[in-house]
Structure 1
Amino acid sequence: MRVTKVVKRDGRVVEFDSFRIRRAIEMAMREVGKFDEAILDKVVKYVLDVIDSTFSDERPPHVEEIQDIVELALMKYDLFEVAKAYIVYRKEREKIRKEKMAILGKDYVDDVDKRLSLNAVRLLASRYLQKGPDGRFLEDPKGLFIRIASLVVIPDILYDPLIFDKEGEQEVHPTEYFNPEEWAGKVGLGGGDPENHLAPPFVWNAHHLERMKALYDELNSQGKMRVSWSQFFDMLRDGRFDHHYKDFLEYYRLMVDLKFIPNSPTLFNAGTMLGQLSACFVLPIEDSLESIMRSATEAAMIFKSGGGVGINYSKLRPQGDIVRSTGGQASGPVSFMRIIDVITDVVKQGGRRRGANMGILEIWHPDIMKFIEAKAKPGNLENFNLSVMITEDFWKYYEEGKDYPLINPRNGEVWGSIDPREAFRKIAEMAWRTGDPGVLFADNINRRNILREHLGEIKSTNPCGEEPLYPYESCNLGSMNLYAYIRRENGLVTFDWDEYSRDIRKALRFLDNIIDVNKFPIPEIEKTTKRTRKVGLGLMGLADTLFALRIPYNSEEGFNFMRRAAEYLTYFAMLESVERAKERGSFPLFPESGYVRGEMPVEGFYHPEIWNLDWDYLREQIMRNGIRNAEVTTIAPTGSISMIAEVSSGIEPQFALVFEKRVTVGSFFYVDAEFERQLKENGLYSEKILRDIAENGGSLYGIEAPEGKEDVIERMKRIFLVAYDIPWWDHIRAEAEISRWICAAVSKTINMPNWVSVSDIEKAYLFAHRLGLKGITVYRDGSKSAQVLITPTQRRGEYASFIENETLKMMESLGIELPQLRKAKVEEKTQAQPVFKPPAQPNHVETCPECGSTRLIHKEDCVTCLDCGWSACVVT
């Protein structure tokens, strides 16, 4: 073609891309169920011929002119329905562009803005984009991703072999004064094109440069810098490190292409004064007032910086024990948790949101029953998730039915005893009533802990339970978007395992660099974190990916995909961590870790029958070369960041296919992106079907099919399952399959309909433990707030459908009585299977702190608002 350029709406002249025309026409054809590849080829050829004969590079076409030609071409080939869909789509896109411009305060949308959904732009504008004192935006989405990527690339420069000595044999250079403000906006890496929004140039701000100097000083103090600071900075200004622009671009494109997004504190704070990039922290607490108040102060500092805190309170003496210094009596762990709860309320997190806590008490503590019932009354410890840590010795007493001894941590003496089965049922009963506490399994947490021999057992986790950590450890998280690797070609839908593998390695480099440029809130946290260098690469978009592949979430094929996706995640992250160790050195505690003995931190390694990859090779590489990060993977909540990527949260099934979203300017139907695509592809998309599904709790079950589309709807019902369509035992199975290949742990809510019994929750705990889960959180619908979306499963008192799989056989083989399949009727009750009915109490309806909505749902161990997207989880 003579035409190689096109004029964009903002006046830029860019390369002409005929694929965009083809894609737009194909989308219109599919939307009305009229896709025909041969006709598509004809229409596209006609459009390109007209463009080539009408325009030239001296007079390039405007995008609006091209769209006019497309409309005429569709009319020429009698594709009137397609033309109508194209025109409607064009008008809708124009409306969306104008809304995005209004939100961002711009008079154009760039290529980054276009890649983001309108919901994502709203979310970024309300929470993440930097603003000036006057409330105006200092950046747009492109600027946010540049701000982050230009921080993340700094370690790549300072670890360059030109100036970095891995062995630390250099003379320590004198510390030099440096004023970051003097050079702010004047120094960057060569590369990029101002006209290309996907490869932009950049310069560092003062906060970036301050982090650069801090990392240089740290490495210099270790004898690892070959040159002085001034020599290095001269080299930087002279372009000696401009080849690292490709690293910047790699990190930038990972985010812009929505393949990977880091945890919220990184989005908030990278390249800012606060500079704190991690979400997860664990603090110690000792049995003294001084230690308790120190922990409270340190928790406040973490909340201020944007993080959440996990604390195991088991070292505190029980209520009623003697306090020798005063002659009084101890008030017990639960009372001291209230101090942290109040502090959480007072300190607003980084100016963005309140903090979150995980409170843990081990099952042997004399105050365990008080702890289990601590949230029985609505309003108590609202800033806490609670978890009982069940230690390995408990199970023997449970199985034998013998009284379990309670131990005073002050002196190790037996304080009393409990019936282990009654205590276990009480945990289940309170979870049935209130959603708290969850359960942590100490034996499963530590079974593959490669630092157990050197540091002892891990006894704490972060607020959502997916990151078991030692005291003063932190972890920075980020998630891969599985849905970004769906490929569609010639009617075939596949998953791109090769590109997924390559991008996992890039994301590992991103997260490892974050440790080096992080501004930790407490010196002890920085020191401890850098001894192990744990990172938590996770997943999001699983449900949408399975939708696209036409795989039911809880089918054996679905479980196999989950297992493989998690295996690739950890394998290629660890493989890249080995490469990093070769260049920069292993984590400092590597020589004391189980890695040197050939141990691995994932259960799946010990089951070669399920391998898809060569784990023996990886193990040998680690033993020979070391590894940069003690752990590399975690499945964390992704509430807000999955909204940016416009995909389903984490590894959860979709909560609802369609629901009414209420915002200040009105309401509209929020539709899962893949579901909407397939509705349109099958000629089913209409206002009526969206309303019917929304009124059906977001589930497709029970929806009447339009005439002639009965078979299509039946096929879609099998694929498009929502959380309450899936039996709770399959939720546990999904978590277990993924957990096999995850270094840390998994954040997932085990959704249960309102009609399950306390006995079902007991069985869930036993099943989870015997499958090797490190912890479990169940949520029975209605236990924390009013039901918002009522699906057929909830309404009918039984699961609406069952996908054939092996889960119940697995449960039976583990010696667990099969669960309740439907709501128990009064006349069906037996002494063996009682259905617990709690005392009548007002339902606890929570309110969103951002928009005031009471339309809250519970997923990923977090409270999430349907209307504004707010999440209680600090990770997201």
Structure 2
Amino acid sequence: MQATTLTPESGSHSAAAYAPQAARPAQAGTLQNYQIIRRNGAVVPFEPNKIAVALMKAFLAVRGAQGAASASVREDVEQLTQTVVRALMRSRPGGGTFHIEDVQDQVELGLMRGGHHEVARAYVLYRERRAQERATKQAEQQSAAAPAIHVTDQGQRIELDVPRLHALIASACEGLGADVKPEPIVAETMRNLYDGVPMSEVYKAAILAARTKIETDPDYTFATARLLLHTIYKEVLGEETTHAQMRERYADYFPAFIKRGVEAELLNPELLNYDLKKLGAALKPERDLQFDYLGLQTLYDRYFLHVRKQRIELPQAFFMRVAMGLALNEIDREARAIEFYEVLSSFDFMSSTPTLFNSGTLRSQLSSCYLTTVPDDLDGIYESIKENALLSKFAGGLGNDWTRVRALGSHIKGTNGESQGVVPFLKVVNDTAVAVNQGGKRKGAVCCYLETWHLDIEEFLELRKNTGDDRRRTHDMNTANWIPDLFMKRVMEKGEWSLFSPNSVPDLHDKFGQEFERAYLAYEKKAARGEIKPYKKVAAVDLWRKMLTMLFETGHPWITFKDPCNIRSPQQHVGVVHSSNLCTEITLNTSDTETAVCNLGSVNLAQHLKDGPNGKELDHDKLKRTIATAMRMLDNVIDINYYAVKKARDSNLRHRPVGMGIMGFQDALYMMRVPYASEAAIEFADRSMEAVCYYAYWASTDLAAERGKYSTYKGSLWDRGILPIDSLDLLAQERGGYLEVDRSRTLDWDALRAKIARDGMRNSNCIAIAPTATISNIIGVDASIEPCFGNLSVKSNLSGEFTVINSYLVKDLKRLGLWDEVMIMDLKHFDGSLWPIDRVPQELKELYRTAFEIEPVWLVEAAARRQKWIDQAQSLNIYMAGASGKKLDETYKLAWIRGLKTTYYLRTTGATHAEKATGRIGQLNAVPTASGTLQAAPASVAASAPVLDAPATDIKFCAIDDPGCEACQ
């Protein structure tokens, strides 16, 4: 049985989740008259909530976590606490002092009278034995010699060296704080061993034992990672190696690793021309200790090079190999490789997964995203599907524009027949993505876009449904709406909307803004006169409602906006943006001769804060340095990259777009003590993105001064002196209203404008915020711009399932004496939410609000502040608990009015989940004030559509839910 007595030792539990609700307010003014005498004679205030904590520990000890988690036990604990408190106060009506034994007597009595005899008996026995328990255990450990366990190691049967195992585990726990102890790991490891076990299994058992402790203290994740690191060292180096030995070993190992990689035909022979000794000496073994368990296991499973399944690559060698691959064309290659290594290995910046996979290899496909537009002829359609297969083979995520393909029922001149429309071809695209995975390392992934005026749009909306003709369903493919502003205006004004086949209105595909509107109105008039067939007229609100209904029911198609993507595009002078990519952050031109390509990487915001007069603040100097290096790395990708398709190579070399993003936004807010659902967080989103974009654009113009402008620079918005923040004026002008965006700025944009006028730009596009699903795991921060999904949760990916716990929260709870096994059980029961746990202070509940406890408009408002600076877009997930038609309608209309270019997944929770997780505050996505009452979200949108007749449901999709989907990063 675990400790359950109300002693000074358990006094760290300053409040309980199960304290009597009715009694507390009435007692609040009188509890100060009561005190407790501890066994050491100290007198402390009487805190009834400690009784509830001790009672719950008693139930936990007897019934286990599953039994104690039932609603009936929670009710019993609350009633018992009230009974004990009332009995104690009746004994001293005017106030007074209780001895700790008095309290324990009343707890025993309450358990017996309540019929909880098994728990009461265990409680009594525990009290009687507690004084001698430690001594007894110690004596047993000394006198009872456990039978020796033998292991097999390199074909020999030898006795397990338990002290050596203990020393290894103790070394893994060293420096991680007093709460990370080797003893429980050793005990759990020994419990899982058997006589004759292979030595490799002993090390695995230690890793598994350590990972079971992560939920009790997040720092155990580092101990687990260090134990894994020990096995990696042994596998790669062929012998036991301590971390202290690695500085010398790394320097010797690195040149041999490069040579072996070349001999195995894994690495580019050009790497041998580096000064390998110099690079080996630059490696920093201490950075191996930065990894948490999830990060290191992910690298080990899927990133480190191997020969016949045996790893040959160590963590710092991995980062240097990537850096060398990116520095191949540099003049001073060693210096640049070390510079690139520094930002990667320090976790200041991380390249995207394809770059990490393939940099320095024989086939260096380093790009993340490819965008294509599909023509309206059979040869072109199947050529596009072939290109999908080739691009997917080498680990690229795909975005296809299918708007040009004629609609169902359209005339086919060559055969005098009628078209089957776009849907049957999308079924082929779906199956191709399944058949051709990304280099055998992760699933192929594609997103198909269709513009809202396409006559097949209603069937397109239903592609992900589980009912209907399965031959016209695409269960493995993503879909997205490509919505022109005119449609949104018709929705807002409750007008009608016309649907056409693209072969009847071929120029609409390439038009946007007012030019699109004029052409569209002219086609509507022709259709009304009977000059265009096939043709259909629908209520815009009805089509919008169906879009939102399908988004809610199936998670698709995503909502993206054509006109902001084009009107604000720096490259509108040489083409049209016809779609976004798989993750909705890339907005580049596509055509029959150009496949758009984007190379991704992300800055870790959490690494770019410093101490300021009022706490943590953005470190502009470090951010500028990191971004200058990162932009150089991304620009280098363009020239080094392997292109599976010529159209992709031609496009990338002409325009040289890159997509630098951010991650760790939530971590930065934690470090600054700023709740996500706050005006301060919106302001930080604005100022941090302003700085990131400012320094990225500055770095690109510096590269232009050094290397030359990109070839289509002349006539671009950059060339015309129109920066992304200025392009909001273009959008306002073209849209003619319906645009409400904050325009504040703090940096010297005029100086940047003048610099660009002098030196030009190296890259047509610089910024795009990708999901960072995998690379954020590697470096141990919250993904991208995402809020925390859960303070205690399980992450799944291709490496397995991992317990993830919010280390910032645990640190705060420890400081307040609130971190204990009851709190862990509460977090599990309430899906990582703090709101139903009464003993947690309001301040922490606000700070550690999880994604579904944040009103979605906070996400949209923060995204709008970022979007004004960004020359491409951002992967913006919308989290919504208890979704309704009205809420969906308001949220996505707000996204359009705030000038967002795209949105990504809609993530919803089920009604039963919402009820469980809200507890006493009543609802998720509410915004409690400091006093706990609910307040409105920061902004709303007028003219909402009728509420959808759809119940809340639990939809699982996207990179977080699907271990195989890590498309961009």
Alpha-carbon distance in 1 for matches of 2:585, 2:707:
28
Give yes or no for the alignment of 1:310 onto 2:386.
no
Alpha-carbon distance in 2 for matches of 1:480, 1:356:
24
Tell me the equivalent position of 2:899.
772
Give yes or no for the alignment of 1:299 onto 2:388.
yes
Q: Deviations over 1:458-489 (max 9, x none)?
A: 11111111101222010000011111123469
Give yes or no for the alignment of 1:700 onto 2:847.
no
Q: Which amino acid aligns with 1:791?
A: A
Q: Report the secondary structure of 2:389's partner residue.
A: helix
Alpha-carbon distance in 2 for matches of 1:732, 1:568:
20
Compared CA separation, residues 311 and 245, structure 1 to 2 (3 A)? same
CA contact (8 A) 1:365 1:409 kept: yes
Q: Which amino acid aligns with 1:624?
A: R
Tell me the equivalent position of 2:628.
505
Deviation at 1:816, TM superposition (A): 4.6
Q: Which amino acid aligns with 2:291?
A: L
Alpha-carbon distance in 1 for matches of 2:478, 2:338:
39
Compared CA separation, residues 815 and 585, structure 1 to 2 (3 A)? same
Deviation at 1:596, TM superposition (A): 1.9
Alpha-carbon distance in 1 for matches of 2:684, 2:223:
38
Task: Indicate the larger mover: 502-511 or 322-331.
Answer: 322-331
Q: Report the secondary structure of 2:906's partner residue.
A: strand
1:721 aligned to 837, 849, 866, which one?
A: 849
Q: Report the secondary structure of 2:630's partner residue.
A: helix
Tell me the equivalent position of 2:20.
none
Tell me the equivalent position of 1:184.
none
Q: How does 1:314-463 map to 2 (within 5 A)?
A: 314-377=403-466, 380-412=473-505, 413=532, 415-455=535-575, 457-463=576-582
Give yes or no for the alignment of 1:650 onto 2:784.
yes
Give yes or no for the alignment of 1:630 onto 2:770.
no
Give yes or no for the alignment of 1:113 onto 2:266.
no
Q: Report which of the two structures shows the higher radius of gyration computed on alpha carbons.
A: 2
Deviation at 1:252, TM superposition (A): 0.3
Compared CA separation, residues 557 and 490, structure 1 to 2 (3 A)? closer
Alpha-carbon distance in 1 for matches of 2:579, 2:803:
41
Give yes or no for the alignment of 1:743 onto 2:871.
yes
Tell me the equivalent position of 2:673.
550
Give the TM-score normalised by structure 2: 0.65
Tell me the equivalent position of 1:36.
none
Give yes or no for the alignment of 1:792 onto 2:792.
no
Compared CA separation, residues 665 and 751, structure 1 to 2 (3 A)? closer
Tell me the equivalent position of 2:967.
874
CA contact (8 A) 2:914 2:924 kept: no
CA contact (8 A) 1:637 1:650 kept: yes
Q: Which amino acid aligns with 1:774?
A: K
Deviation at 1:800, TM superposition (A): 5.0
In structure 1, runs of 5+ residues without a counterpart are 1-30, 34-63, 75-80, 158-240, 818-831, 846-856
Alpha-carbon distance in 1 for matches of 2:862, 2:181:
40
Alpha-carbon distance in 2 for matches of 1:678, 1:445:
42
Compared CA separation, residues 551 and 490, structure 1 to 2 (3 A)? closer
Q: Deviations over 1:102-146 (max 9, x none)?
A: 2562533442321211221101011111111x2001212112111
CA contact (8 A) 1:515 1:530 kept: yes
Tell me the equivalent position of 1:205.
none
Q: Deviations over 1:744-798 (max 9, x none)?
A: 0010210111x22122212222111100001223524258x99799632899445
CA contact (8 A) 2:497 2:539 kept: yes
Tell me the equivalent position of 2:325.
151
Alpha-carbon distance in 1 for matches of 2:567, 2:802:
48
Q: Deviations over 1:382-402 (max 9, x none)?
A: 332211111133244334433
Alpha-carbon distance in 2 for matches of 1:816, 1:807:
21
Task: Indicate the larger mover: 335-344 or 685-694.
Answer: 685-694
Q: Report the secondary structure of 1:274's partner residue.
A: coil
Q: How does 1:91-110 map to 2 (within 5 A)?
A: 96-103=225-232, 105-106=235-236, 107-108=240-241, 109=243, 110=285
Compared CA separation, residues 327 and 780, structure 1 to 2 (3 A)? same
Q: Which amino acid aligns with 2:887?
A: D
Tell me the equivalent position of 2:339.
250
Q: Which amino acid aligns with 1:288?
A: D
Quote the RMSD (CA, aligned, Å). 3.6
Tell me the equivalent position of 2:656.
533
CA contact (8 A) 1:793 1:800 kept: no
CA contact (8 A) 2:810 2:819 kept: yes
Tell me the equivalent position of 1:781.
908
Alpha-carbon distance in 2 for matches of 1:769, 1:794:
34
Tell me the equivalent position of 1:164.
none
Give the TM-score normalised by structure 1: 0.71
Q: How does 1:178-217 map to 2 (within 5 A)?
A: none
Tell me the equivalent position of 1:211.
none
Compared CA separation, residues 343 and 638, structure 1 to 2 (3 A)? same
Q: Deviations over 1:297-317 (max 9, x none)?
A: 000001001001111111011
CA contact (8 A) 2:697 2:766 kept: yes
Q: How does 1:818-857 map to 2 (within 5 A)?
A: 834-837=947-950
CA contact (8 A) 2:855 2:937 kept: no
Deviation at 1:739, TM superposition (A): 1.3
CA contact (8 A) 2:365 2:643 kept: yes
Tell me the equivalent position of 2:825.
691
Deviation at 1:335, TM superposition (A): 1.4
CA contact (8 A) 1:341 1:382 kept: yes
Q: Report the secondary structure of 1:311's partner residue.
A: strand
Q: Which amino acid aligns with 1:715?
A: E
Deviation at 1:100, TM superposition (A): 2.3
Deviation at 1:420, TM superposition (A): 0.9
Alpha-carbon distance in 2 for matches of 1:353, 1:729:
33
Tell me the equivalent position of 1:277.
366
Alpha-carbon distance in 2 for matches of 1:302, 1:664:
21
Q: Deviations over 1:270-308 (max 9, x none)?
A: 112331001111112111010000000000001001001
Alpha-carbon distance in 1 for matches of 2:666, 2:384:
39
Deviation at 1:245, TM superposition (A): 2.4
Give yes or no for the alignment of 1:614 onto 2:788.
no
Give yes or no for the alignment of 1:731 onto 2:859.
yes
Give yes or no for the alignment of 1:135 onto 2:262.
no
CA contact (8 A) 1:448 1:602 kept: no
Q: Which amino acid aligns with 1:315?
A: R
Tell me the equivalent position of 1:864.
960
Tell me the equivalent position of 2:586.
467
Q: Report the secondary structure of 2:890's partner residue.
A: helix
1:519 aligned to 625, 642, 648, which one?
A: 642
Q: Which amino acid aligns with 1:144?
A: F
Alpha-carbon distance in 2 for matches of 1:766, 1:503:
36
Tell me the equivalent position of 2:266.
none
Compared CA separation, residues 395 and 485, structure 1 to 2 (3 A)? closer
Tell me the equivalent position of 1:212.
none
Deviation at 1:497, TM superposition (A): 2.6
Q: Which amino acid aligns with 1:873?
A: E
Compared CA separation, residues 403 and 125, structure 1 to 2 (3 A)? same
How many residues are treated as equivalent by the alignment? 677
Compared CA separation, residues 803 and 338, structure 1 to 2 (3 A)? farther
Compared CA separation, residues 717 and 389, structure 1 to 2 (3 A)? same
Deviation at 1:337, TM superposition (A): 0.9
2:703 aligned to 564, 580, 604, which one?
A: 580
Alpha-carbon distance in 2 for matches of 1:128, 1:335:
37
